[in-house]
Amino acid sequence: MIDLSTLNTGLFVGGEWRAAAESFTTFNPATGQPLAELGSANAVEVDAAVDAATAAFRGEWGALAPSRKGQLLNKLADLVERDLDQLAALESLDMGRPVGASAALMIPNLIGTLRYYAGWADKINGELISNDGYMGGPAPTHAYTRREPLGVVAAIVPWNAPLMILGWKLAPALACGNTVIIKPAEDASLSILRLAELIAEAGFPAGTVNVLPGLGKVAGEALAVHPGIKKISFTGSTETGRAILRNSAGNFKRTALELGGKAPQIIFDDANLEAAIQGAAMGLFFNQGEVCAAGTRILAHRSVYDSVLGGLKGAAEAQVIGDPFDSATTMGPLVSARQRDRVVEYLKKGADEGAELIAGGSAPDRPGYFVEPTVLAGDNSMTVAQEEIFGPVGIVVPFDSDDEAVALANDNQYGLSATVWTNNVSRAHTISGQIEAGAIGVNGWSPLAPQLPWGGVKASGVGRELGYEGILAYTETKTVTVVL
């Protein structure tokens, strides 16, 4: 049993834990019972966090040598590794993912990201640029660029993969010399609160990282409008992304928006069908389908359509839904009653619009926020094929030609990721160039490795995280010229 009594559940500001003026209750998704009472940051407390982060940026953290910043990121990675099982348990308890997946995939992803950007901390360079001099010369000008940190950065994080997604923001922001204010999601803050304790233990100067649990409408909005914050890095729904963009326009904040998705998985007639079906099922059901890149539109060539339907039906029926801490469980509950009800609404809409039910289709009558793994057959114009459901629900749509597959894949407001299943190398590269998405996986999922840029196009967002793009995203270019 996880002991929450020793976990700090207030606000982490300026290196200290403070009680918040207000609080909110979170619930255990596997039982529906109250889980924790967390501090709920208000606008005044947001101001205090911005002050602390600004002081650290101008003070101790800003003055720290780049290599020392890298050492601290590595130290944090070591502590996360030491407490991996505890962090995995906290996150699974909070949001419902089977704990084995948290321990094997999500927390290691955070460790990898911290280590990757620890290596960057003392390798962030500008460049020397040859130029024509003032108004074309003749005096030569020595010119170079500096890559400078932005200042105070806010990271607003969703509940579906709190620590992994936070790592994509926190690690590059710190490596580049920024200070950070984190706003975890209401429904899953516990693992991030524990991370804050590890940040203190690692020895980051006070105020370098601040954590404000709280409500999106209160703490999130206060961060978005705050003039002292130079960048908002947000991952969450498209609707909230729009609100953040509007609210942050006041002081021309940089915004990085990682939003929703409705990823197509295109299975061609020449694909290794067994691997494609297995991969498609993972893309549908991993993390209860609460994945921005979830492959919820399975586009199957008509010659393999029946086999794909049969394979996915088998895969859905083989899922074991239950307690995230039971080792037999492959799919846990959805994060909240609200999310479960939202998914059930979509299932009703699918039935109303004539989608054929292949497997699943309802919420089991048991405590907790469970939904059956569901496979539908239908066409791409249905609501269930167009909107992000964010649950274990996929729709299979047939196609007859490569052109039709691409047209169907692109016939959606989102453009985060896609997978292409084919053994034809030429087709794989051609189709990868034609699909409107930020990431394409051929014969497998994009690995979400720290070296690889991640982000969407269209309504899936603006900007990229990870890789060298992560460094560019957290630095400003300054040009310095010296007339010689």
Tell me which residues are annotated as active site. 258
E strand intervals along 380-474: 393-399, 414-415, 417-421, 439-442, 457-458, 461-462
Handedness of CA 271, 275, 281, 285 (dihedral sign): negative
Handedness of CA 190, 194, 200, 205 (dihedral sign): negative
Residues in 408-467 that interact with ligand NAD by CB under 6 A: 416, 456, 460-461
Q: Which is nearer to ligand NAD, 270 or 387 (by Cβ)? A: 387
390 is a site residue for ligand NAD (CB under 6 A): yes
221 is a site residue for ligand NAD (CB under 6 A): yes
Residues in 245-304 that interact with ligand NAD by CB under 6 A: 258-261, 292
- Least distance (Å) between residue 164 CB and ligand NAD: 9
167 is a site residue for ligand NAD (CB under 6 A): no
Q: Which is nearer to ligand NAD, 90 or 300 (by Cβ)? A: 90
154 is a site residue for ligand NAD (CB under 6 A): no
Q: Which is nearer to ligand NAD, 211 or 224 (by Cβ)? A: 224
B/e letters for 78-103, b = 16+ CB within 10 Å, e = fewer, are ebbeebbebbbbbbbbbbbbbbbbbb
Q: What is the rounded radius of gyration, in angstroms, for the C-alpha atoms of the chain?
A: 23
In terms of phi and psi (left: phi > 0; alpha: psi -120 to 50; beta: otherwise), the region of 291 is: beta
CB 178 within 8 A of CB 474: yes
Q: Which is nearer to ligand NAD, 13 or 155 (by Cβ)? A: 155
244 is a site residue for ligand NAD (CB under 6 A): yes
Q: How many of the other CB atoms lie within 10 Å of CB of 434?
A: 15
Stretch that binds ligand NAD, among 79-87, 215-223, 375-383, 397-405 (CB under 6 A): 215-223
Handedness of CA 236, 163, 21, 207 (dihedral sign): negative
Instruction: Residue 355: name the closest of 374, 331, 334 by CA.
Output: 374
Q: Which is nearer to ligand NAD, 216 or 378 (by Cβ)? A: 216
**Could you tell me whether strands 209-211 and 179-183 are parallel, antiparallel, or unpaired per DSSP bridges?**
parallel
Stretch that binds ligand NAD, among 72-80, 219-227, 353-361, 402-410 (CB under 6 A): 219-227
For residue 474, the surrounding DSSP H or E stretch is: none
- Least distance (Å) between residue 310 CB and ligand NAD: 29
- Distance between start and end Cα atoms, the chain: 69
CA–CA distance from 355 to each of 77, 171, 224 (Å)? 46, 43, 40
- Least distance (Å) between residue 188 CB and ligand NAD: 8
CA–CA distance from 30 to each of 24, 291, 337 (Å)? 19, 18, 10
216 is a site residue for ligand NAD (CB under 6 A): yes
Q: How many of the other CB atoms lie within 10 Å of CB of 351?
A: 14
Give the x/- contact pattern for ligand NAD in 95-114, rule: CB under 6 A: --------------------
Out of 58, 68, 82, 217, the residue judged to bind ligand NAD by CB under 6 A: 217
Out of 169, 183, 301, 313, the residue judged to bind ligand NAD by CB under 6 A: 183
- Least distance (Å) between residue 15 CB and ligand NAD: 23
Mention every residue, 6+ apart, whose C-beta is less than 8 A from residue 216. Answer: 156, 183, 185, 186, 240
Out of 159, 204, 346, 369, the residue judged to bind ligand NAD by CB under 6 A: 159
Peptide bond into 138 cis (omega under 30): yes
Mention every residue, 6+ apart, whose C-beta is less than 8 A from residue 403. Answer: none
Stretch that binds ligand NAD, among 220-228, 320-328, 370-378, 402-410 (CB under 6 A): 220-228
Residues in 299-328 that interact with ligand NAD by CB under 6 A: none
The three state secondary structure string of 45-70 is: HHHHHHHHHHHHHHCHHHHCCHHHHH
Size of the site for ligand NAD (CB under 6 A): 31
- Least distance (Å) between residue 462 CB and ligand NAD: 11
Instruction: Residue 358: name the closest of 343, 344, 347 by CA.
Output: 347
Stretch that binds ligand NAD, among 88-96, 232-240, 325-333, 473-481 (CB under 6 A): 232-240
Stretch that binds ligand NAD, among 32-40, 85-93, 178-186, 203-211 (CB under 6 A): 178-186
For residue 381, with 0-12 CB atoms within 10 Å meaning exposed, 13-18 middle and 19 or more buried, which class applies?
A: exposed
Out of 388, 437, 470, 474, the residue judged to bind ligand NAD by CB under 6 A: 388
- Least distance (Å) between residue 165 CB and ligand NAD: 6
Stretch that binds ligand NAD, among 44-52, 114-122, 152-160, 375-383 (CB under 6 A): 152-160
- Which tokens belong to 286? 């991993």
Out of 64, 73, 106, 224, the residue judged to bind ligand NAD by CB under 6 A: 224
The contact set with ligand NAD (CB under 6 A) reads 156-160, 165, 183, 185-186, 216-217, 220-221, 224, 235-237, 240, 243-244, 258-261, 292, 388, 390, 416, 456, 460-461
